[in-house]
Each structure stands twice: as C-alpha cells, then as structure tokens.
Structure 1
Amino acid sequence: MTDTNTDYASKRLAVVTGANKGIGLEICRQLASNSVAVLSTARDEKRGVEAVEKLKGSGLSDVVFHQLDVKDPASISSLALFIKTQFGKLDILVTLEFHIFILYHYGEFHQNLVAENPGILIRLVE
C-alpha cells in the first residue's frame, strides 16, 4: 500500500482491480491523466507497487496502490476499510477480474451490477 498524503477531496476516485499490467495499467494511466485519483489494486503486491511507481515516474502523482485479491473476503474488507478511512468515497470502479470489464459510477453501481459474483463488488462500496 502506498501513501495517501495528496488531497483527494476535490477529485473523483477510481478503483481499478487487476491494474498491475496490460489493460488495467493503461486504464490507470488514462484515468490519472484525466484528473481522476486512482487506487490501483492487484493480487501481487510487489508487481502492484512497481506498476504504481512506473505511473508516478511518468508524472502521474494521484495514483496509490492497495493489495486486493477479489476472491478473499478479508482482502476485500481491508480495501473497503482503506477506501472509507483514506478517501471517504468511491466514484468509479473498474474491475478486470472474473474475465469481465465493468465501469461503474457509484450512483449507478447497485442498479447495473452484472458481475458473476456481485456480493464481492458490492462490499467495496457499502
């Protein structure tokens, strides 16, 4: 997990799962490039931290990392608590887990959830 000393109150917050490589990393880059604060997650903490360092090295400062295994309830709870205590909100959720791609704005989250295991994702925003 990386430090969260930037003021995120005025920015939208996006959580991106599976964000340490490929399309997840690019989604983080695009969101951060468009003034969205990004919480990047991945199962592998080392690769996740390296990905965030790469983004920060390219000038994108509003990106932080938190480890997440979407199949582990304790990991999900840890992320949910981190979001609540460090940011107090969640505006956008992008998940690349379960071989699906979902982009939700928080207000529409409960209406549009079509993931294979919606209980896991709902815990992130309760």
Structure 2
Amino acid sequence: MLASAGIAGIAGNHVDWGLRPAGDQMPGVELFVISDVPERRMAGNPTWHDARVQANCWAATPGEAIRLRRAVATFAEGLRENVDGKKYRVFVIDADGRTEPDAGRIAHRAQVDLRISYQV
C-alpha cells in the first residue's frame, strides 16, 4: 500500500498493522487480520490460505476518509502479485464507514474488508 500513489498521496506513510497510535496524524490506514483459514483439502497439507483483512481508513473529514477508502479499494481490487516466490490474490468484499472519537478529536473511519488468498 505504501507503494500505491493513490494511497500515499492521501495518507503518506501512515499505514500500520494493528492499532494506530493514539493521536496519530490523519489521514491513515490501520490493518487487522480478521481471519486466516487454510484451504480445505482431502489429502496433504494446504498450499493456499484465505485471509480476511480489515482496512480502517481514518481522516479528519468524512470525504477524506471516503477518498482514502476508495484509494485502498482501487489498489486492492483484483491485485495479483508474486513476492518471494509466493502468490497473492486480493479482492474487496465489503465497505462501510462511521464517526468515532479519537484522542479528544473527531475521527472519521471508512472501512474496507479485503479477501487475500495467498500461497504458503
């Protein structure tokens, strides 16, 4: 995501796994692994996993949060990458948004859920 011009143009290098530090600069993206399930096989070990990753796009305004969500979705939808001999396939499966307090300020969150199939 950091290499994506669309995401970096909005969030800079503020893409983190796990919780964002309280009061961190916005806009930014926080990523969480929601599930990571190996494919079902009748014989042998699975070679593919299906993970669900939630990307929370935080910003000071609803419009900016939505623009960041769209940038994440555009980057991720249909992404096919080979990294270090492993294959990755990404699809957008859900999106929503809401407003929440964040370290004494109002923060707007637009969420994108991603399905990431990857080879182990």
TM-score, normalised by the number of residues in structure 1: 0.29
Larger radius of gyration: 2
Higher share of residues assigned strand: 2
TM-score, normalised by the number of residues in structure 2: 0.30
Higher share of residues assigned helix: 1
